[in-house]
Structure 1
């Protein structure tokens, strides 16, 4: 099985993504300061430096605005996994390596990103709409992971095994981040916790077993 490399983003698409990320960061900052209930879409737009109509062009409501931040980590580890050479290392090892690299904190910007995630997951515990955004981000991540795993597993891979592997891997990261967010552990402890959850949850998945 082969996958078509994604086409480069156009300038317009890059600008759109940058604006969405600016809004997402503004929303995360305000949620951390005031909580979702104490924050309005107008305040998020003002903090991001965009018009309210621009906010609603990209997001349906204030909770949706943080989706780019919540999905960013998954995008990074899928990209790392997709770049792996099929068969070079066992699939579980390639997946664990990509997740560990994506959650690493080589600089303060990466650490700050994880701290934002912690704040959002804590806020989501008391906000059903924000929690729904988090669950949707994980569901979309699982769906996008399937073709990546299928390409690495090879043409003979059972589609059901691929789907189970994608679900197990996605849930491993979700559980790890949720558990880490409820503690005061420093950002660099998120990656090893995610690796542990991955090993635990994929232990019975045949796609990751030696053939």
Structure 2
């Protein structure tokens, strides 16, 4: 799995410093430990102390980065959103937005951009979130932050011809398309990857939006 930027930083924060990279590496180690333990035991049977011990850090270090055991998996859940926003940001302004969004979604949720390990983490965590309200709240917060970070990416692509409300609505629809698709995919063992579901959700939720030339 790729090493994510600390999940609390916006995409526009610029290159990470050495200190930030070390912090990101520590966050990721803790997140992986939490994800592994959640998969082995479930969130209820896992404590913050267990996660810190598995990650090889002191408990005070755990709480320096995360507020709770459920919060510790936020970097794993946020990594996919960071990837697809980065893919979308590579598009040139003026590119047909519908096609750009679909390319980013398709690429971000398909191999080789997303690997099987990352899909396994995501499916396991989303299944656990169905039974754990605190973990579900982390998932919703990660999506809310992803939506906020998407707004400036879309603004750059569409220019000044559209109202901020239209851009905000598209950011919400695109983010929810991926969120719903991932939740449905996680609960469907026969679905090999979430990209086809996400594309369907995106088309359904954005149909008729003026931003997309409809």
Under a length normalisation based on structure 1, what TM-score does the superposition of the two structures give?
A: 0.92
Selected match of 1:9 from 13, 16, 25: 16
Name the residue aligned to 1:196.
200
Name the residue aligned to 1:152.
157
Contact kept? 1:164, 1:205, Cα under 8 Å: no
CA distance in 2, matches of 1:209, 1:138: 26
Equivalenced residue count is 204
CA distance in 1, matches of 2:191, 2:56: 31
Give the superposition deviation at 1:193.
Answer: 1.3
Question: For residues 108-144 of structure 1, what are the alpha-carbon distances to aligned partners after superposition, in whole Å with 9 as ceiling and x for unaligned?
Answer: x711111111111111111110000000001111111
Question: Could you say what secondary structure the match of 2:170 adopts?
Answer: helix
Give the superposition deviation at 1:185.
Answer: 3.0
Contact kept? 1:63, 1:133, Cα under 8 Å: yes
Question: Could you say what secondary structure the match of 2:204 adopts?
Answer: helix
CA distance in 2, matches of 1:96, 1:14: 31
Name the residue aligned to 2:138.
133
Superposition map of 1:58-207 within 5 A: 58-87=65-94, 89-106=95-112, 110-185=115-190, 187=192, 189-207=193-211
CA distance in 1, matches of 2:96, 2:119: 28
Under a length normalisation based on structure 2, what TM-score does the superposition of the two structures give?
A: 0.91
CA distance in 1, matches of 2:190, 2:13: 36
Q: Following TM superposition, where does structure 1 have runs of at least 4 consecutive aligned residues deviating by more than 2 angstroms? A: 4-7
Give the superposition deviation at 1:186.
Answer: 5.0
Name the residue aligned to 2:29.
22
Question: Could you say what secondary structure the match of 2:93 adopts?
Answer: coil
Give the superposition deviation at 1:92.
Answer: 1.4
| Runs (5+) with no aligned partner, structure 1 | none
Q: 1:199 to 1:26 in 2, by over 3 A?
A: same
CA distance in 2, matches of 1:103, 1:209: 25
After superposition, the CA RMSD in angstroms is 1.6
* Stretch deviating more after TM superposition (142-151 or 198-207): 198-207
